[in-house]
Amino acid sequence: MTSPEGGAVPRPAQPLTDLDFHSGARIAELNQLVQELSKRMARDPGIRATQELVVLKDFVFSLLGLVQQLDGRLPLANEYLLLSGGARQGSVDVDPGVLDRLAPGADYDVDYTLLVPVLQARGCPVTLDLRRCPPGHAWLALAPFGPEACHRWADCCHHHGGEAYLAPGLVSAWFSQALGTVADWTRAVPRPGGPAVERVAGQGGLVTLLLSHGAVRALYDVVPVVAFQGWPAAAREWLGRSHFWDGKLREEDVAGGFYLLPGSGPASGPAWRLSFARSELHLKKAVPPPLLQAYQAARAALSGAWGGRLGPYHLWTLVLWACERLPARYLGREENAAHCLLGLLDDMAAGLGAGACPHYFLPGCDRLAGGSEPGLARAVAAVRGDPAGHLRQAVERVKMAVGGDQSQGWLGARTPGFSISLLS
């Protein structure tokens, strides 16, 4: 196009806010890609698939009932916390490097994490021993749970100074074997037209169950935990601070309980990892949707890079820190989803460069603690250098997983934590 005088007509200057100078990507295009990815990953599974998922959930609970009958270790009246999204999606704080590589669409259609208390600390005067543990971990003495619990868990103990401590690695080994045993029972006597156990694998302190019913394949990461009411003393300082969720959530919901999760260390190790999965379930309600979409996009763009000690859960930690630092009115604008995505990548790159990944709930606890994850650092740099290109690839992966626009295939990767089921 030319002007009447024959010279080129200058194009309107691109607004500064619509260009990311680090990568040259257009913010408007990034926003469109984030929105497209979010919509494709939130596909409605349909009525039939929903019914099949309910059957599979009930089947998992029936397997846990058989585990309780096996040797009476699980509490008769128990509370399970069911989270949407498996451990590989960042639903709980586990080391991703200890989990095998499974992909949505190729290996399963929908995934969950199920926290199963092996002990309920309700009413027990339990004091966690943090003296001999790395930050964010604790030893758990069995004596406060009474002589019956000490007898029941005698072969899963670590003894130190005349005290018996419940050993998470031994508990995980028992749980994996028990769940594998009852799964074999159901395989030996299959129910025509009923759910089927495709795989049982213990790894990293949890057990991965791959189940199928009809055309639906569901992955359950089942984690044996110790459940507590109230709030740990190690996180009391955090609770006394001001937070982004003040006035939006009740403190009794956010600080109503916590868990001890098995670590991925040697089987004889006595240290459990503190987990705030119940609190995070409530906190997600206060996170602005555009920031959640940016988290989902960053997680998808980095999907092949997770490993070692850092993974999607640590990206989720950056989301919580972003909520603390930035105004909710900024994070809540739909047009800022791309800025949120770039900010999360920048924050992760800065943390990897500094060898730091501060825990959100535990002051002084650093999940990276001066270490390095060079592979992840390179992956973050690659995505940050071409965010639009990597988001297009993520969109294509989802399209392939769901079979284009067909209703079959992958049922969608939900943002972890939006599904809860408490049974007693």
Q: 396: phi > 0 → left, psi -120 to 50 → alpha, else beta; which?
A: alpha
Helices H, strands E: what count in the chain?
A: 13, 12
Pairing mode, strands 216-229 and 110-120: parallel
In the chain, where the domains are located:
23-401
Kindly report, residue by residue over 221-264, the tens digit of the pLDDT. 999 999 999 999 999 999 999 999 999 999 999 999 999 999 76
Helix (H) or strand (E) holding 59: helix 46-71
For the domain bounded by 23-401, which CATH number is listed? 3.30.460.90
d(C-alpha 335, C-alpha 19), whole Å:
13
What residues have CB less than 8 Å from 93, skipping those under 6 apart?
261, 273, 275, 277, 313, 367
pLDDT at 14 over 50: no
pTM for this predicted structure: 0.89
Kindly report, residue by residue over 288-346, the tens digit of the pLDDT. 999 999 999 999 999 878 878 889 999 999 999 999 999 999 999 999 999 999 999 99
d(C-alpha 140, C-alpha 153), whole Å:
12
Higher-pLDDT residue of 75, 307: 75
